[in-house]
Amino acid sequence: MSKPTAIHEIIEDPATMTITVGAKVFDRPFLAHIPEWETRIKEQIVDRPMTGDVKALNAFYCAQLGPKFNRRFQAANFYMWIGNRMSRITGNLLRKSGAVGWRLYSPELVYRANQVLPYIKEAEVDGLYHLIPAIVVFQASPSAIRREIGPAAWRRIAHNSRTRNMRIMQTVEKVSVANGVEWKDNFVKLLEVRSGLLGGFMWLDENALDAARLAPRSNARSLLETTHIIRDARRMIGQINPSWGLARIKREHDAAMLESRLKVFSAEDFTQPWVFDADGLQANLLTSPLAINVEGDTQHHCVGSYWRDASRGSYAVLKVDGKERATVGMWHSPDGWSVDQVYAACNAPVTDACRAFAFKAAKQLTADRPTLTPTGA
């Protein structure tokens, strides 16, 4: 029994790097795995019929485009743009970044790689896979790239591992305008950045680059926290002295922030101070509208909005220092104090040890201060 013939077949043309289905010509790679009920590609070829019946819709597109069209269309794209054109190692370099993205190919990177395929083929033959990310970004041969950026920058590229150059390329794609000159400039800028920080870039400006230089730890969270500090400091005090370290920037930032907040919030305590120590951590109860808002500004989260509840005695804000820096928020109930939220800077999660400490603090605060009696009451 012969297979049913579709009205519109998938026609591949490697000479022009196009896939034609019906009257629709696709000249860019489509590499996403999408379920068969998804119709966004099908609707570009054949207008969606006016029906709400799913079975009737599936039968219509099956007759028009053949069974399992989405799978066959993605496979045709894969083999034309990657599978029949380059090695598996090269193809894997063209995936997206991140814990989820690494399973997916980047259409932009794949397209750019095909634009300079002869240079990539030469690199494959010579076993110089670590140069392929630069070839993709600069759209040029290695010798032309060296002439453009100079021998010092080129040596860094040539000495990098394949994985590091791939991660720089992936970050460039994320922070750059597609097909713009930013690709080249940003690749060179990121050569100076530690590998552990690359995944944390969401944009690439003066603040992010300063943060990459000064971040105390080599991870995305540290980059984000440091970027917030530097951006706020630059906004409050103007230009930052290039010779300043992160500690000096923090001092200048905190001083400017305190001066600004003093104009709006009272520094008068609405309750008595309270301190709790355990497990290498210390919790200090914040006792004024100013202190709570400064904590929110310093940690870049919304705890400052709770100052009214805190002044009424229905909420408590604890500043946690020691092995870990965090902020704890607690609601008051007839049974005592219960943890509402525990966050590090920028609403980042805390460790299990810090979270356990927060619950110990709530228990101790309930024992010591069943209610936060306003000062003078």
DSSP string, 326-373: EEEEEEEETTEEEEEEEE-GGGPPPPHHHHHHHHHHHHHHHHH-SS-P
Q: Give me the amino acid identity at 10.
A: I
Average pLDDT, the chain: 91
Res 124: pLDDT: 97
The total number of residues written for the chain in this structure: 377
Q: Are 15 and 78 in contact (CB under 8 A)?
A: no
Residue 126: partners with Cβ closer than 8 Å, 6 or more residues away:
none
Which 8-state DSSP code applies to residue 158? H
Model confidence, pTM: 0.77
Q: Are 37 and 72 in contact (CB under 8 A)?
A: no
- Express each pLDDT in 63-96 by its tens digit: 999 999 999 999 999 999 999 999 999 999 999 9
Res 281: pLDDT: 95
| Paired residues of 276 in beta bridges | 283
Residue for token pair 């630059």: 234
Q: Give me the amino acid identity at 196.
A: G
**CA dist., res. 295 & res. 254, Å (int):** 10
**CA dist., res. 36 & res. 102, Å (int):** 23
- Express each pLDDT in 339-348 by its tens digit: 999 999 888 8
Give ∠ CA 326-213-140 in degrees, rounded to 5.
130
* pLDDT over 80 at 178, yes or no: no
| Paired residues of 275 in beta bridges | 284
What is the DSSP code string of 98-112?
Answer: STTGGGSB-HHHHHH
Residue 349: partners with Cβ closer than 8 Å, 6 or more residues away:
343
Reported as type and span, the H/E element at residue 10 is strand 10-13
Residue 4 pLDDT class (50, 70, 90 cuts): low
**CA dist., res. 358 & res. 327, Å (int):** 9
Which 8-state DSSP code applies to residue 293? H
Residue 302 pLDDT class (50, 70, 90 cuts): confident
Residue 137's closest CA among 108, 163, 107, 161? 108
> CA-CA-CA-CA torsion for 353, 355, 359, 364, nearest 10 degrees?
60
Report the chain's C-alpha Rg in angstroms: 29
- Express each pLDDT in 195-217 by its tens digit: 999 999 988 999 999 999 999 99
**CA dist., res. 73 & res. 44, Å (int):** 13
* pLDDT over 50 at 1, yes or no: no
Q: Mean pLDDT over residues 109-118, rounded?
A: 97
**CA dist., res. 242 & res. 313, Å (int):** 44
| Paired residues of 21 in beta bridges | 10, 24
* pLDDT over 80 at 167, yes or no: yes
CA 225 to chain centre: 13
